[in-house]
Every structure is written in structure tokens, then in C-alpha cells.
Homo-oligomer: A and B are copies of this chain.
């Protein structure tokens, strides 16, 4: 039995983590952390858990939690995990951090984009970027996992094969992303009220979104050189889902079949990445509630560009599901344990 603790369990990612773990027989949640709801019954915050969870919310106490848990998930604002973590904790337990604290190797880049001083840069080097489809082996032996951001997961997986194979000119890469509202979190802000979001669509964080350097770093590893790109997220009136539409110029003449075979080579054995059939566009409804990323591409012979697309549930593969996938790897379990949900439709 794996003993797990969740710090930040009342946010949307934390709630999904709880939901996923509670459906397993081999994991026990020992700690429902939530600074905002200390002492309140967890099921009064997430009524879907009524008669399923009887626990009350606990304050943040990573030290105490490290005594009780084999793995700690931190689904908390930037800076918190990095401020709580230390060698003593890492000696006792695994930590899977869903915030951005350990995703970016260059601390200066982190501090520039996140506008905070990193509280524990000494752990950055050790942390493993938890994108199993790329870093599987490294993840297995890690103590500290930097669980990827939602946009970076979908963007990287959609673009990585062509970047790595040198099929696209990385200087031309543009990623236009669309996300459901759960990505904005559960904080009470006027901007995220129903009537403000519903029946509307907007770009935000144009040329300044914090996931940009994370995507750039991962694709740089693939391309073997520094990548600078445009990333523009948009807010879409739906609960869950991320759709990525990426554009890049092809470096040469390649056929549909050649590009398809590259994607198949990278993802043919992957359980959570589905390369769709020709001309089928990824749609978020076909992955909702699952850990799948659906990817596909289209070559435009007129402009000699390739359009790469990816669809994913931001709360699952973009957050909690991927964290569970990482946990499975850390504990030597089959990677899809507890993650075999078929997408919910409609």
C-alpha cells in the first residue's frame, strides 16, 4: 500500500489527484492538505466525494507529512513546494511537485518569468522533468519530480518528434493554444466568473505566458539547440481540455507517410499518446477524463508548413493524471495503473 499525501488538495488538480488515487486499491491518501479549508471536511468542499472521503483538511506541514507518506504531491502555487522542501524530506519520501518550481533548469529564467526568487535552487539540478514519454528512465530513480505544466505537456508531445528528427525549422515554430477554464484554478476572481467566461473567447498572456520557457527548454533538448518560439494561450468556455495548434516550416520535402511514420515510431508503443488517422483532427471531447493525448498533423503544400495538433485533458494528462503516471514509475508499477479510464462522452 502506497501512502500518499496531497498538499493543495482542494484546487482542481488536487481534487483530481484525490479522485484518481481513491479509485485504486493500492494507494491510501493520508493527508488532504488545504491551507484555505483547514479542519473542514474534504467532502464538504468536493461533494462528489461525499460518503467516500471522511477526512478533514489539514494545514501545510511537509515535515510531518514526510513521516507518514511514501509520496507527497504538491499542487500548490509557485514557490511553495520549493520553500518547504529540504534534504531531510527528500530522504524520507518522494516528492511530485505540480507547480513550476523545479521544471526549469536555469534558475535565472525561472525567476525572470515567474517574478519570484527561487527558494531552493539547490534542488533544481536533481529534479527530473516528469514527462514519461521523453524522460521515462530518469523518472524511475528520482526523488523529486517536476510535474510538467499543462500547456508544455500537450505542446511538447505534439511537436517533439518533428523537432528531434530535424523535420521542422525551429525558428518558425508558433504554438497557438486553447484551454478550458479549469486551467485558471479555483480562486475567486471576477475574470473567472461564469458570466465573464461563458460565450467569450480571448487570448491572454500574449508573448509573456510563463509556460513559454518551459516549452522552449523541452523542445531545445529535442532539437539539440536553443529554441525561441511564440506561444499564445486562449481561454475557451469549457471546463476541461487543452488544444494545441502548432505551425512550423518544413525543412525539406516530406510526405504524409514519412511524417506519420515518425510519429508512429515515437508513440506507437506509448499507452497515452494516440496518433490519429489521416485527416482526423484532435478534439478535446475525445480525451476528457482520460490520460490520453491525441496528436495529429497536416502538411500544407502551399506554404510548406506542417500544422501539428494535440488534444488533452488539462486536469488529467496536464496535471493529476501525469502525476499519477510519474508515481507509478517511481514505485515500479505498470505505468497505466489507475489510469485506464476511457474518455467520457458526451
- Interface pair B194/A237, CB less than 8 Å apart: yes
Measured between beta carbons, the chain B residues less than 8 angstroms from A288 are: 48, 199-200
- The distance from the CB of A345 to the nearest CB of chain B, in whole angstroms, is 5
> Which of the segments A85-93, A135-143, A241-249, A324-332 contacts the partner chain?
A241-249
> Which of the segments A26-34, A67-75, A217-225, A273-281 contacts the partner chain?
A273-281
A193 interface contact, C-beta 8 A: yes
With A178-B236, A201-B243 known, 12 other A-B pairs at CB within 8 A are A48-B342, A178-B178, A181-B193, A194-B197, A199-B199, A199-B240, A202-B283, A207-B299, A232-B307, A236-B236, A239-B346, A344-B344
Q: Which of A13-62 contact B (CB under 8 A)?
A: 15, 19, 22-23, 46-52
The 3 residue pairs across chains A and B that have the minimum distance between CB atoms = A200-B285, A195-B346, A48-B343
Query: In the complex the two chains form, what is the Cα distance from A187 to B182 in whole Å?
Result: 19
A: residues with CB less than 8 A from B are 12, 15, 19, 22-23, 46-52, 172, 174, 176, 178, 180-182, 186, 188-190, 192-204, 206-207, 228-230, 232, 234, 236-241, 243, 245, 247, 274, 276, 280-290, 294, 298-300, 302-303, 305, 307, 309, 311, 315, 340-346
Residue of A283, A294, A343 most packed against chain B (CB within 10 A): A283
- Interface pair B23/A283, CB less than 8 Å apart: no
- The distance from the CB of A182 to the nearest CB of chain B, in whole angstroms, is 5
The 8 Å CB contact of A48, one of B49, B52, B287, B340, is B287
Query: In the complex the two chains form, what is the Cα distance from A199 to B314 in whole Å?
Result: 13
Measured between beta carbons, the chain B residues less than 8 angstroms from A172 are: 172
- Interface pair B283/A47, CB less than 8 Å apart: yes
- The distance from the CB of A337 to the nearest CB of chain B, in whole angstroms, is 14
The 8 Å CB contact of A195, one of B182, B189, B299, is B182
Residue of A51, A289, A300 most packed against chain B (CB within 10 A): A300
Measured between beta carbons, the chain B residues less than 8 angstroms from A12 are: 195, 346
Query: In the complex the two chains form, what is the Cα distance from A165 to B289 in whole Å?
Result: 41
Query: In the complex the two chains form, what is the Cα distance from A285 to B200 in whole Å?
Result: 5
- Interface pair A238/B198, CB less than 8 Å apart: yes
- Interface pair A346/B283, CB less than 8 Å apart: no
Closest B residue to A232 by CB, please name it.
Answer: B245
Contacts A23-B340, A236-B236, A305-B230 known; A193 to B200 CB distance under 8 Å? no
- Interface pair A178/B228, CB less than 8 Å apart: no
- Interface pair A300/B47, CB less than 8 Å apart: no
- The distance from the CB of A257 to the nearest CB of chain B, in whole angstroms, is 17
Query: In the complex the two chains form, what is the Cα distance from A240 to B340 in whole Å?
Result: 22
- The distance from the CB of A114 to the nearest CB of chain B, in whole angstroms, is 17
Residue of A201, A282, A284 most packed against chain B (CB within 10 A): A201
Query: In the complex the two chains form, what is the Cα distance from A276 to B41 in whole Å?
Result: 14
